[in-house]
Structures are given as C-alpha cells and as structure tokens.
Amino acid sequence: MRYVGKKLIALLVTLAAISFVTFFAFTIIPGDAATNIMGMDATEEEIEALREAMGLNDNIFVRYGRWLLGVLRFDLGTSLQYSIGVSELIGGRLKATAGLAFESLLIILVLAVPLGLLSALKPNGALDNCITTLTQVGMAVPQFFLGIMLTYVLGVLLHVFRMGGYVSPGDNFGAYISFLFVPAITVAVPKLSMMTKYLRDCIVAEKRKDYVRTAKAKGNDAARVLSHHILKNALIPSLTFFAMIVADVFAGSIVCEQVFSIPGVGRLLIASISNRDFPVVSAIVLYTAALVVVTNTLADILYRAVDPRVN
C-alpha cells in the first residue's frame, strides 16, 4: 500500500514537471497565437492589443499558473483554430482514437500469447522459424504501406471494406466498430510482431530454468508445464512491454489516422501544430505524456501484484 502511495506521488510530480516543460517549450518557439489569429494584414498595434487581451504579455510563471489552474479545473482553454473548447474538441477525437486503440489491443492480446506459445513450443523448429520470419516482416513493413495494401486488397479488390467510411459511434456503433477493424490491424501488426517475439524469447528462456525440470519430474505433460508453470513466469516481464504498447496506441497513430481518414487525436495534433493552436497542442502533449506515465505506473503496481518476489 505504501508502495502504491509512493508511486502515486511520483506520478503527480512527473506530471507537474511535464506540464511545465510543455508550457515552457511553446513559449520559446517563435510566432504566437495573436499573430496567427489576426493574419498577415494586421498592424502591429492591433496584434499588440490582442496579445494584451489574451494575457500573452504576462510573466511566464503567471501564464503557467493560469494555465495550470485551468487544467486542474478540466478547462484547457479554447482552440484558436476551431473556436471551441479544447476538452470538447479532444473528447470528440478521442472517440475515434480510443476505438482504434481498443480494437488493436484486442488483436494483440488475442494473437500474441498463442503465437508466442506456438513459436516457443519447439525453438528453431519449422513453426518457430515460420512465425519468426512473419514477425520480422511485421516489424519491418512501414505502417503507411501496410495500410495502403490492406485498403487496396480489402477495399478495392474484395470490396469488404469501405474506404474513408468512418462513422461516429453515436451514429452507428456497429459500423464504427467494423470500419475501425482494418485500421486496427494496421496499427496492431508491428506491435503484435514485437510482442510475439518478446514473449517467445521469454518463454524459451524460462524453459531452461530449474523449476521446469521439477514440474516435469512431477508428472506434468509438456502442455501443462507450459500452461501452469512457464506461462505466468514469462508473462511477467511482458507486462512492462505491453504497458508501453497501450500508451502508444492510445496516443493515436498519426500515420494510420491519415491513411484511413480517421478523425483521431493524431491527426488533430498535426493540424494544430501547423496552425500554432497552442491550447490544443499543449493539451494533446499533456494527454500523451500523462498516458505514458499513468500506464507505466499501473504496470509497476500490477507487476508487484503478480510477481511475489518484487518487494
């Protein structure tokens, strides 16, 4: 319990640090929101007046404090580009990203464990070599290429996938799920490959340990040795790895969202950066950073729960 408390405090400190760095980084890059809003034709006086009105001329700590207070009240400001609340804007985009993330995580979870197990069944056997080759390809293929190929094969040749057919979950939940399936495969393939390979290596390493010999001597058959003894030991190190994948997919995939025209967080980030939409960019950066820190903290806490040796 004390450990969880310590972890949570560390989490808050990290988040505070990240928020400051994020804020500070945006104040030192050239160009500001006022110039952007007023456009090229505005006079220096007009821009200065807007700056004053937006509070851009205050001391950086004052501005940071003001922004932080807003963040704590879940008020992230208003998007300069879209003139709607940032929370509302990101919230809407998150629906697409979260759906994509959940589906790809599901694919990874459902496939990585059996593939890893099959691969580790007979190291360097035919099946292992086959799966290893596939995972190598999966890791190496660029995401945009995979996305385009899937679109071409499933959409153009086989007509089982409607291109650009993203539907908001509120409108038609079934269509939303089924559309996101193909993009989810695109996101999942490289991560699934890494996860499978990692798990395979963990299992192979565990197989050589002494407790496996004990399990065999007790009368466990090969399958039960694997399922009742090796698997839990091999999954423990994979947990941290999986946490990184979780953070990664929830941060939104810029490439995949672009290829499949999905209005997700990744695309919003690109658009906001090019428009210097500071409130949106900072909110997304904060969201991404928080995601990484929170999932890692959860993984650490979970790690302790499943591995009795960590204390």
Interface residues with other proteins (CB under 8 A) are 2, 5-6, 209-211, 213-222, 224, 228-229, 232-233, 236, 306-309
How far apart are alpha carbons 25 and 292 in whole angstroms? 19
**In the complex, minimum distance from the CB of residue 218 to other proteins, in angstroms, rounded to a whole number:** 4
The helix-helix angle for 86-121 and 231-250 (nearest 10°) equals 150
CA-based max dimension of the chain = 86
**In the complex, minimum distance from the CB of residue 9 to other proteins, in angstroms, rounded to a whole number:** 10
> 39 vs 308, which CB is nearer to other proteins?
308
**In the complex, minimum distance from the CB of residue 195 to other proteins, in angstroms, rounded to a whole number:** 20
How far apart are alpha carbons 178 and 124 in whole angstroms? 37
**In the complex, minimum distance from the CB of residue 212 to other proteins, in angstroms, rounded to a whole number:** 9
> Is residue 97 within 8 Å of residue 266, measured between CB atoms?
yes
Q: Which two tokens stand for residue 165?
A: 């057919």
26: exposed, middle or buried (C-beta count within 10 Å: 0-12, 13-18, 19+)? middle
**In the complex, minimum distance from the CB of residue 1 to other proteins, in angstroms, rounded to a whole number:** 10
Secondary structure (3-state) at 85: strand
> 70 vs 123, which CB is nearer to other proteins?
123
> 66 vs 209, which CB is nearer to other proteins?
209
> 84 vs 306, which CB is nearer to other proteins?
306
CA angle 134, 140, 141 (to 5 degrees): 90
> 162 vs 216, which CB is nearer to other proteins?
216
> 220 vs 297, which CB is nearer to other proteins?
220
> Is residue 225 within 8 Å of residue 215, measured between CB atoms?
yes
How far apart are alpha carbons 153 and 143 in whole angstroms? 15
**In the complex, minimum distance from the CB of residue 197 to other proteins, in angstroms, rounded to a whole number:** 19
Q: Which two tokens stand for residue 124?
A: 């360097």
